[in-house]
Amino acid sequence: MKQPVLKGKLSLLILCVLFFVLPLALNSRSWVDLFITIVVNMVGAVALRLIVISGNLSFAQGAFMGVGAYTAGMLAVYLNVPIWLSIPAGAIMATIVGLITGWPFARLKSVYFSMGTMFMGQALMLMISAWPLAGGALGLQRIPSLTSALSGVADVLHLKGYQACYYLIFLLALFCLVIMYRMEHCRIGTTLRALAQSEEVAASIGVNPTFYRLLAVGTSCFCMGLIGGVQSHYLTTISYSSYGMNTTLWIIMYMMIGGTGKFVGPLYGAIVISIVQGIANLLTSLSGSSNNESFVAFAHWLGANSAYTPFLTAAVLLVVAYLLPGGLVGIPDTIRANRARRAEKKEAAEIAKGGSK
């Protein structure tokens, strides 16, 4: 039992080192933006999985990220709240909204919970879009820049402004991931899995299903709000359309493709699909400074056909669903199972051959 746990921790450590070192080596703005996108998506996918292991699936993850983003942005724009306060305020507001709106659905299960959160997420975004202070259809603009706020730190550390932003986002994401990892690997995680197996049995031994499900929802919303708040200051302009149902569906896809069986599953899913989504823009940006005609032509061709990216993602999802039911994280287990079956067949054939003699 200890060996899989050690392998899981080693995978997390390797990912952590890679995401710390690579932005130093690949330090162009295009690469760093891709790394930021991946990190944000990783937090979203793992935060959703925290709710999933309790037996439910939320369709409001994008909306709670939007609550955090708009709270942080509006506090900074209208009340001149410093970035260091507006970002945690966005996380706290997302948690409060998540608990208040999630409490009526805490007793619901499976598809009913999903439907409730889907309508709730849509309602939240419609309320934000109709609020004049939130900028309406044009979105919230002129949000204080995180790059400017970190310019002094960037100079001291000999980093570019956008690199300093990345490392702050990375540290906040790491903070969220550590919290969710610890929750999953303590008594709380065991209780959430027990609720997914049988709520009646868990309740019979004194577990309060509503409390634990709200705890999972609140933690998930806090992480989504925190990452949404810091993202709003990095982008400086946000729109409610960026936090609608489309965002939630992508988060669900990251989690499903990566696999829900292990903590690292959604991380792998977010990395792979984020690269598939962003590779066209990345190569187009890099081709502007390249003298390789073949690379430039390929980048332009890929950019011209970037509209087909969702179809490629859907193809990846179908392949994973049919061939890798455990997701990308289940590939080693699938390989071992296939080897074991082949070994069993070979042994059975040898036994049959020996018996015939």
Q: Is the pLDDT of residue 151 over 60?
A: yes
Q: How confident is the model at residue 344 (pLDDT cuts 50, 70, 90)?
A: confident
Would you state the pLDDT for residue 72? 96
The amino acid occupying position 99 is: L
Q: Which two tokens stand for residue 308?
A: 């087909």
Is there a contact between 259 and 265 (Cβ–Cβ < 8 Å)? Answer: yes
- pLDDT tens, 25-67? 988 898 999 999 999 999 999 999 999 998 888 999 999 999 9
Q: How confident is the model at residue 8 (pLDDT cuts 50, 70, 90)?
A: low
- Average confidence (pLDDT) over 233-253: 92
Q: Is the pLDDT of residue 2 over 60?
A: no
- pLDDT tens, 89-115? 999 999 999 999 888 877 777 788 888
Q: Which residues lie closer than 8 Å to 205 by C-beta, 6 or more apart?
A: none
- Average confidence (pLDDT) over 134-162: 91
Please give the Cα distance from 193 to 183 (Å, whole number).
12
Please give the Cα distance from 192 to 298 (Å, whole number).
48
Q: What is the mean pLDDT of the chain?
A: 87
CA-nearest of 241, 140, 227 to 179 is 227
Q: How confident is the model at residue 288 (pLDDT cuts 50, 70, 90)?
A: low
Would you state the pLDDT for residue 1? 45
Q: How much of the chain exceeds pLDDT 90, in percent?
A: 49
- pLDDT tens, 316-343? 778 877 777 778 888 877 788 788 888 8
Would you state the pLDDT for residue 91? 97
Give the residue carrying structure tokens 């970190």: 150
Angle at 37 between CA 136 and CA 315, to 5 degrees: 100
